[in-house]
Amino acid sequence: MSEIQIDKFNRKNFGPDFIWGVSTAAPQTEGAWNEDGKSPSIWDTFSMKKGKIFQGQNPKIACDFYHRYREDIQLIKNLGIKNFRFSLSWSRILPNGTGPINHKGLDFYKSLCDELLEHGIEPWPTLYHWDLPQVLEDKGGWTNREVLNWFEYYSETIGKHLGNRGIQNWMVLNEPMVFTGAGHFLGYHAPGRRGFSNFIPAMLHAALCTGKKKKKLRSHQSSINIGSTYSCSFITPRTNSEADLIAAKKADALLNRLFIEPACGLGFPLSDLNVLNKVEKLMRPEDEKNLKVDLDFIGVQNYTREIVESCWYVPYLKARLVNAKKRGVPHTEMEWEVYPESIYEMLKKFSRYRPEIPLLVTENGAAFKDNWDGSNELKDPLRVEYLQSHISQVLRAKNEGIDVRGYFVWTLMDNFEWAEGYRPRFGLVYLDFETQKRVIKDSGKWFSSFISENFEGVEKKIVALEN
C-alpha cells in the first residue's frame, strides 16, 4: 500500500465557467462498423488480423452508440454533464476517403449534435481519432503526402455540412504522437506499420494536417474555437546519472514535445532527437511555416508519468520506460503509474509554450478492474480516488495562475481500448458488452455530484492505494 494526499477542494474553487465534461471516440464506442454506407476503417481491418487485439476482439459493435446515442445522451444529461467530447468517423462520412458524401453517415452526426444541443449539452467533436478509412490506407495512408489533400477534403466537408449547427468547439487531431508512434513505428496499433520509414512521413503529415484542417473549419464559421489534443506524461529519469538524464531528455522530446512544439512555431525538437533529422529531407520550403497553428486552445491528455532509463540496446533512442508494475508502485490496469502530480507538471509545461492560449484537460481517467455483480450499482473506489487526486492537481495548476479552463474524464462508458480490446475499463459507466446494459459506477455518481451546483466539497484526506 502507498498513499496519496488530496487537498480539500470543491467544484466552486474552479469558478462558474470551468468546463466539465466526458470524452469518447467514434471507433471505441459507435460500432455499426459496416452499416448505412460506412466503409471499414483501419481499426476494423486491423482487428480482423490474427493476434493484433486482446482475445481477437474487435470494434464492430463496441458500445453500439450508433444506435443507442439517444439513451446515452439522456444518461449524460441525468449525470448533469454539460460537455460531451466525441469524434467523427471519416469512413462513415466519406466511405471513399474523398468523393461522394454518405448522407446517412453525415445525418448521424447532425442528429447527434442536435440531440446534444437540445439537451443542453455542448458537443465537442474531434475530427480525427485514429480511424483512417482503409481505402486511404491502401494508398499509403499517413505516409503518403496526398493525405494533406484528403484531409483538406474531409475537413472542408465537415465545415460545410456540420459547421453551421451551433457547434462552438472543435478539435482537429487526437494524440498524434500515439497514432503515429504506436501505429507507424511500433506497429501494435492500426495500421500496424513499423520503423522510421513509416513514422517520419506520418509524423510530418500529421503535424501539417492540424493547420490545414483548422483553416477549412474556420472558413465556415469564424467565431468557433479550434484546438487540437496532445498526449503527455511527466518524465522522471530513473537515476541522476548522466546516461539516464540524457535518456529522459530524449523521451521527453519524443513523447511530449514532438507535436506541440511545431504547432507552437518552434519546429520539431530535432536537436534532442537527431534520429528524426531525416524529416528535413521530406520537408518542402512552405512546411516550416505551415507547421505552426494558431490554436484557440490546447487539449492536454495525461494519465501517468514515465520513469526513463538509459538502455544501450534500444536502437537510436538508447532509452526505455521502466514499467510501473515492475517498480511496485500503485498502477492502473494499463500498468500506468498513478501519479497525480504528472497532470500538474504537464499543465505547467504546456502553459509555457504560448501562455496566451488556454489549456483544457481533454482526457484524464483510469482503468481499474470492476467487479460487477449484476445489480444496478458498482463500487469503484480506486477510480474515485484517481479522479479526485488528479482534479485536485488541476486546481493546483489553476491556483498558480495557469490558464486551464476545463477537464474531461476519459471516458463516459467502458469501451474498445484499442489493442487491449474490452479488458481495460475506463468508464464512469460500466458496460456489460453481452447485453449492452449500462450501470453507473460510483465514480460516475461522484463526478456527477462533484460538478453539480451544491456539492459540499472533497475533504482533505490521505488515501491508501493498492500497489
**Which positions are annotated as active-site residues?**
175, 363
Neighbours of 172 (CB within 10 A): 27
The whole-angstrom separation of Cα 155 and Cα 84 is 20
Among 46, 410, 446, 450, binds ligand IFM (CB under 6 A): 410
**DSSP run (H or E) holding 359:** strand 359-363
Q: Closer to ligand IFM at the Cβ: 25 or 202?
A: 25
Is 301 among the residues that bind ligand IFM (CB under 6 A)?
Answer: yes
Residues numbered 78 to 97 that lie near ligand IFM (CB under 6 A) are none
Is 263 among the residues that bind ligand IFM (CB under 6 A)?
Answer: no
Q: Closer to ligand IFM at the Cβ: 366 or 378?
A: 366
Residues numbered 321 to 380 that lie near ligand IFM (CB under 6 A) are 363
Query: What is the SS3 assignment for 180?
Result: helix
Is 261 among the residues that bind ligand IFM (CB under 6 A)?
Answer: no
How many positions of this chain bind ligand IFM (CB under 6 A)? 8
Residues numbered 17 to 36 that lie near ligand IFM (CB under 6 A) are 25, 28
CB of 141 to ligand IFM, least distance (A): 18
From the list 62, 58, 57, 1, the residue with the least C-alpha distance to 26 is 62
Q: Closer to ligand IFM at the Cβ: 148 or 387?
A: 387
**DSSP run (H or E) holding 125:** strand 122-128
Residue 357 in contact with residue 295, Cβ under 8 Å?
yes
**Cα-based distances in Å from 256 to 128, 250, 294, 324, 350:** 19, 10, 19, 19, 9
- Vertex 329 angle, CA 432 and 251, to 5°: 95
Among 72, 175, 287, 337, binds ligand IFM (CB under 6 A): 175
Q: Closer to ligand IFM at the Cβ: 64 or 175?
A: 175
The whole-angstrom separation of Cα 265 and Cα 255 is 18
Q: Closer to ligand IFM at the Cβ: 175 or 306?
A: 175
Q: Closer to ligand IFM at the Cβ: 199 or 422?
A: 422
From the list 355, 341, 343, the residue with the least C-alpha distance to 302 is 343
Question: Distance of alpha carbon 374 from its chain centroid, rounded?
Answer: 30
Q: Which three cell numbers stand for residue 405?
A: 479552463
Neighbouring residues of 367: CB distance < 8 A, sequence distance ≥ 6 = 332, 333, 334, 417, 424, 425, 426
Give residues in contact with ligand IFM (CB under 6 A): 25, 28, 175, 301, 363, 410, 417, 426
